[in-house]
Amino acid sequence: MIEEGSKRGKAMVEKRQLFMEMRAQNFDVIRLSTYRTACKLRFVQKRCNLHLVDVWNMIEAFRDNGLNTLDHTAEINVSRLETILSSIYYQLNKRLPTTHQINVEQSIGLLLNFMVATYDSEGHGKLTVFSMKSMLATMCGGKIVDKLRYVFSQISDSSGVMVFAKFDQFLREVLKLPTAVFEGPSFGYTEHSVRTCFPQQKKILLNTFLDVLMADPPPQCLVWLPLMHRLANVENVFHPVECSYCRSESMMGFRYRCQQCHGYQLCQSCFWRGHANGPHSNQHQMKEHSSWKSPAKKLSHAISKSLGCVPIGEPPHPVFPEQAERPQDQPHTIVLESPSRLDEEHRLIARYAARLAAEAGNSTQCPPTDLSFNFDANKQQRQLIAELENKNRSLREILQEIQRLRLEHEQASQPTPEKAQHNPTLLAELRLLRHRKDELERRMSALQESRRELMVQLEGLMRLLKVGEDEEQKQAAQTGGSPHSSPSHGAGCSMPMPIRSTSAGSTPTHTPQDCLAGVGGDVLEAFAQGVPRNLRNDLLVAADSITNTMSSLVKELHSVDDAAEEEESHMRNGGGRDAE
């Protein structure tokens, strides 16, 4: 009796210990319930060392302890739960290096008492299998897409369709976690929680399930779940920016930038606590940043993105096959290797096979006539022109970003009058820097004018192609022949073509044809002989010219940034000498 009483007293102490440590972190000062809940659950996860256990290792532990053979409604007592947790943590220590071993007994005690307090509030001494699986799969480490795939395998039927009653049970279990950390009023379970996640869908497959739960924003009742994973990803992210409120010279974690106040940024601690100063207000829209990119990297990334060197947008998760999957904790299921990479490879192979089949089908068709050949060539030319126009539209966004960076650089490089009046050398260097910036601005203006004229020429070229096709169709209708002749010059005479600016590197050329008078060099050469030459090569040359010009502009910006850094160092040294 004495021994049993001592064990019960020790369990009560360990139960209170975790919550006392959590309260000491002062998470309740966070004004947003979503961040408050995510921070508390992240603290529990790390304090119990669950962040070191991957979801695939957790699934393997379920299978090794025979949980895959039990029904979800089956109950297990606390002693067996302790045995399962012991196997999880002892296997974890085997995988960890000797210098990073964890205190297994302490981790078992903390997690066991937290689970009992969360799922056995009435003191029956038993938990259901589904409660334990839901809690451990949610609170362990790993990618959120892998966790949600495992959850879906537990709540779907043999045909791969989600069972709403099982999903409702999952919400009941997983929403007990916010309640356990005293956030139940914000994220407690209600009878309408299922329909708030899937208001209209009746047949939920895996990809639909992932789309909904990984959307931005996710369902309101589960909005804390992806945020908890984002917190784990940004804990060690460094931002070399000063907080506009606490004046900390660096930020760790999230960074928040005001969309109305220029240059106003807050660290995650100040933003979570609702701090604001100056013209900024808590009602202003803030953008959350989880990484830091220098202005030069932002510009180069934007240029690469506009020229198609990087993908414009990535899907939130891989697209998985819609056929039913075996529950991932069943035997003969590979769990040690994430299937997302294999699915991606299968998808690429299928796409490549479909392309080969399409090319083979086209090759078996009858030989094309001159009419179809010319039509395909004109179609390819129009597609190429459309792609160049899209890239030119993205260049406008790049130029706007350049203008914004230039303004920020001007504000940062403004010298103080006290330092400038005592340092003539600094004044001369600043004048030289301003002169160099003026030259860069003139070059930017010339590039903008050249780009505008190039767009006008491309639009005119597209009209010429359309007029040529119309003339071919008219001639074919009158003569009954195959319209394969080149566009007539008379049809294009009514549309004036602007002369390319000399700042873009080309000079105007004149020809006897009235319809080509004033046309720029590349377009004139394309139509000078009466039969258009390969316009694809000409347009690609134009695109390369734009790319080379933007590359030189980026180099100029880098040189200006280097010069600004040198000026700032001179200003600091000058200030130090003045103080002496």
- CB distance 155 to 324 below 8 Å: no
- CB distance 578 to 419 below 8 Å: yes
Q: Where are the beta strands (DSSP E) in 85-237?
A: 126-128
Nearest to 227, CA basis, from 167, 186, 275: 186
Confidence of residue 437 (pLDDT cuts 50, 70, 90): confident
Residue whose entry in the numeric block shows the structure tokens 């931002």 = 239
Cα dist from 471 to 353, 371, 483, 487, whole Å: 40, 13, 9, 7
Q: With H, G, I as helix, E, B as strand and everything else as coil, classify residue 286.
A: strand
Find which of 127-141, 317-331, 477-491 is predicted with most confidence, using mean pLDDT: 127-141
For the ranges 45-49, 109-113, 132-136, 453-457, the lowest mean pLDDT is seen at: 453-457
Confidence of residue 510 (pLDDT cuts 50, 70, 90): very low
Tell me: pLDDT of 519 over 80. Answer: no
Cα dist from 407 to 203, 239, 263, 441, 578, whole Å: 53, 21, 11, 12, 29
For range 287-300, the mean pLDDT: 71
Produce one character per residue of 286-295: b if its CB has 16 or more CB atoms within 10 Å, e if not.
beebeeeeeb
In this predicted structure, what is the pLDDT of residue 564? 63
In this predicted structure, what is the pLDDT of residue 335? 47
* CA–CA distance, 55 with 141 (Å, rounded to integer): 6
Cα dist from 130 to 72, 76, 89, 390, whole Å: 5, 10, 20, 52
* CA–CA distance, 328 with 236 (Å, rounded to integer): 32
How high does pLDDT run on average in the chain?
76
For range 324-345, the mean pLDDT: 51
For range 431-454, the mean pLDDT: 80
Residue whose entry in the numeric block shows the structure tokens 């060197």 = 309
In this predicted structure, what is the pLDDT of residue 156? 93
**CA angle (423, 424, 430) in 5-degree steps:** 95
* CA–CA distance, 484 with 368 (Å, rounded to integer): 13
- Tokens of residue 252, six digits: 């760790």
Choice between 503 and 381, residue whose per-residue pLDDT is larger: 381
Confidence of residue 385 (pLDDT cuts 50, 70, 90): confident
Cα dist from 516 to 458, 460, 488, 499, 529, whole Å: 14, 12, 12, 10, 11
- Tokens of residue 513, six digits: 């044809």
Digit-coded pLDDT (tens) for 152-171: 999 999 999 999 999 999 99
For the ranges 5-14, 245-254, 437-446, the lowest mean pLDDT is seen at: 5-14
- Tokens of residue 433, six digits: 């820097």
Percentages of the chain per state (helix, strand, coil), in multiples of 5 = 65, 5, 30
Neighbours of 313 (CB within 10 A): 6
Q: With H, G, I as helix, E, B as strand and everything else as coil, classify residue 252.
A: strand
What is the C-alpha radius of gyration for the chain, rounded to an integer number of angstroms? 33
* CA–CA distance, 299 with 156 (Å, rounded to integer): 46
% the chain with pLDDT above 70 = 65
Confidence of residue 506 (pLDDT cuts 50, 70, 90): very low
**CA angle (209, 211, 216) in 5-degree steps:** 130
Q: With H, G, I as helix, E, B as strand and everything else as coil, classify residue 310.
A: coil
Which residues, in sequence order, are bridge partners of residue 77?
A: 126
- CB distance 263 to 405 below 8 Å: no
Confidence of residue 45 (pLDDT cuts 50, 70, 90): very high
Tell me: pLDDT of 509 over 60. Answer: no
- Tokens of residue 417, six digits: 């009058």
For range 460-468, the mean pLDDT: 77
* CA–CA distance, 275 with 409 (Å, rounded to integer): 27
Confidence of residue 328 (pLDDT cuts 50, 70, 90): low
Digit-coded pLDDT (tens) for 172-198: 999 999 999 999 898 988 888 888 888
Digit-coded pLDDT (tens) for 195-208: 888 887 788 999 99
* CA–CA distance, 223 with 197 (Å, rounded to integer): 11
* CA–CA distance, 113 with 78 (Å, rounded to integer): 10
- The H or E element containing residue 75 is strand 75-77
Tell me: pLDDT of 459 over 80. Answer: no
Which residues, in sequence order, are bridge partners of residue 238?
A: 252
- CB distance 252 to 66 below 8 Å: no
For range 139-159, the mean pLDDT: 94
Residue whose entry in the numeric block shows the structure tokens 């869908």 = 201
Q: Is the pTM of this model over 0.85?
A: no
- Tokens of residue 198, six digits: 């899937």
Q: Where are the beta strands (DSSP E) in 230-328?
A: 238-239, 251-252, 255-258, 265-267, 286-289
Beta carbons within 8 Å of 77's beta carbon, 6+ residues apart: 125, 126
Choice between 472 and 353, residue whose per-residue pLDDT is larger: 472
* CA–CA distance, 345 with 347 (Å, rounded to integer): 5
Nearest to 59, CA basis, from 327, 335, 326: 335
Digit-coded pLDDT (tens) for 297-313: 555 555 655 555 555 55
In this predicted structure, what is the pLDDT of residue 504? 39
Find which of 212-216, 310-314, 323-327, 483-487 is predicted with most confidence, using mean pLDDT: 212-216
Nearest to 451, CA basis, from 550, 303, 540: 550
Tell me: pLDDT of 497 over 60. Answer: no
- The pairs formed by 17-23 with CB atoms below 8 angstroms and a separation of 24 or more are 17/110, 18/44, 18/47, 18/48, 18/110, 18/113, 18/114, 21/47, 22/47, 22/181
In this predicted structure, what is the pLDDT of residue 369? 42
Cα dist from 334 to 119, 317, 387, 452, whole Å: 30, 20, 44, 57
Q: Spell out the SS3 assignment of 404-454.
A: HHHHHHHHHCCCCHHHHHCCHHHHHHHHHHHHHHHHHHHHHHHHHHHHHHH
Choice between 18 and 351, residue whose per-residue pLDDT is larger: 18
Residue whose entry in the numeric block shows the structure tokens 């460094």 = 238
- Tokens of residue 209, six digits: 């399930």
